[in-house]
Amino acid sequence: MRRPEKIESLHNPRVKQWAQLLDKKGRDKQGLYLVEGIHLVHEALKFRAGVETLLFSAERGIPDEIAGLLERETDLECVAVSEPVLQKCSDAQTPQPVIAVVRKTQAATNSLLERERALVVVVDGVQDPGNLGTIIRSADAVGATGVVLGLGTVDLYNPKTVRSTMGSMFHLPIVEAALPPLLAEAKRKGIRLFNTSLQATRTCYETDWTEASWIVLGNEGKGVSPEVAAQIDEHIIIPMKGPSESLNVAMAATVLLFEAMRQRGV
| CATH fold label, 110-264 | Alpha/beta knot (3.40.1280)
pTM of the model: 0.94
Domain with CATH 3.30.1330.30 in the chain: 13-103
At 177-232, the pLDDT tens digits run: 999 999 999 999 999 999 999 889 999 999 999 999 999 999 998 999 999 999 99
Q: C-alpha distances in angstroms, 156 versus 27, 83, 103?
A: 11, 27, 13
Domain with CATH 3.40.1280.10 in the chain: 110-264
d(CA 65, CA 249): 34
Q: What is the pLDDT of residue 2?
A: 67
- Spatial contact of 48 and 73, defined as CB atoms under 8 Å apart: no
d(CA 98, CA 40): 10
At 83-135, the pLDDT tens digits run: 999 999 999 888 789 999 999 998 889 989 999 999 999 999 999 999 999 99
Superfamily (CATH H level) for 13-103? Ribosomal protein L30/S12 (3.30.1330.30)
98 - beta bridge partners?
56
